[in-house]
Amino acid sequence: MLGFAAATTSVAAVSVDGGAMADRCPDNCPLCYANVRGRAAYPGHRGYRVPVSVYHWRTTMALKRPSASPTPPPNASSIDWSAALPGTPLLAEFMFSPVYDDDSKRELPTLMLFLHDGRLTAALNDRDQARTAFVSGDSLASVLVALEAGIAADALGWRPNKPQSRKK
């Protein structure tokens, strides 16, 4: 019983600088072992080194707020977007018009192109109405023309978007 109390007292009386009390640890002290191997830095045990920061003040930069642009961006409704998609004015209006005809705001759609079974496929996602249409063709021009014809006739096979699930 007396030996246990003495051992507990010697381990508990650890110096902060790692000097004088370091030789009072038992031979199999796990904290000394971790220090000597360089895995940790326990003050008051053999092998203690002052931890060095990986980051240096010269190598890390503070996040700087971007300066406000001196000129406001142009009004999106005043820009002629038909040059972006030549030959498809309805598709250009559908893609780039930020407002409906009654001047209410709308969320702009996205157009994603990918190859599916050797054919070029376009997924037109109307984010404002939560629906998606798929059109495929042999070339980019044929896909854009098919989208234009589908918008003109209101005959795109719209599919409702799946509800977003929140996974934790």
Residue 63 lies in a domain: no
What single string gives the DSSP state of each residue in 28-85? T-HHHHHHHHTS---TTSTT------S--TTT--PPPPPPPPSSPPPPGGGS-GGGTS
For position 92, what pLDDT does the model report? 87
For position 98, what pLDDT does the model report? 84
Same domain, 145 and 84: yes
Write the CB contacts of 7 (distance below 8 Å, at least 6 apart in sequence): 26
Rg over alpha carbons for the chain, rounded to the nearest Å, is 34
Same domain, 132 and 80: yes
Q: Give the chain's domain count.
A: 2
Residue 168 lies in a domain: no
Same domain, 45 and 102: no
**Is the CB of residue 34 less than 8 Å from the CB of residue 28?**
no
For position 109, what pLDDT does the model report? 92
> Does residue 14 register a pLDDT over 50?
no
Residue 82 lies in a domain: yes
Burial track 20-50 (b if 16+ CB lie within 10 A, e otherwise): ebbeebeeebebbbebeeeebbbebbebbee
Residue 70 lies in a domain: no
Residue 67 lies in a domain: no
Same domain, 45 and 99: no
Q: What is the pLDDT of residues 81-128, one digit of tens each?
A: 667 778 888 888 888 888 888 888 889 899 999 998 889 999 999 998
pLDDT greater at residue 134 or residue 104: 134
Residue 44 lies in a domain: yes
Same domain, 16 and 81: no
143 is in which domain, residue-wise? Answer: 76-160
Helix, strand and coil percent figures for the chain, each rounded to 5: 30, 15, 55
Among 44-53, 75-84, 112-121, 135-144, the minimum mean pLDDT is found in: 75-84
Predicted TM-score (pTM) of this structure? 0.52
Same domain, 90 and 120: yes
Same domain, 84 and 49: no
Same domain, 98 and 147: yes
Same domain, 47 and 80: no
For position 16, what pLDDT does the model report? 47
Same domain, 27 and 90: no
For position 15, what pLDDT does the model report? 45
In this structure, what token pair is assigned to residue 111? 């157009």
For position 1, what pLDDT does the model report? 44
Query: What is the residue whose two structure tokens read 């005043």?
Result: 78
> Does residue 27 register a pLDDT over 70?
yes
Among 36-50, 57-71, 141-155, the minimum mean pLDDT is found in: 57-71
Can you say how many angstroms the Cα of residue 97 is from the centroid of all Cα atoms in its chain? Answer: 28
Same domain, 41 and 12: yes
Residue range 134-148: average pLDDT? 93
Stated as kind and residue range, the H or E segment containing 148 is: helix 140-153
Query: What is the residue whose two structure tokens read 């980051």?
Result: 55
Residue 64 lies in a domain: no
Same domain, 80 and 52: no
pLDDT greater at residue 73 or residue 12: 73
Residue 136 lies in a domain: yes
Q: Count Cα neighbours of 26 within 13 Å in the Cβ-side half-sphere.
A: 11
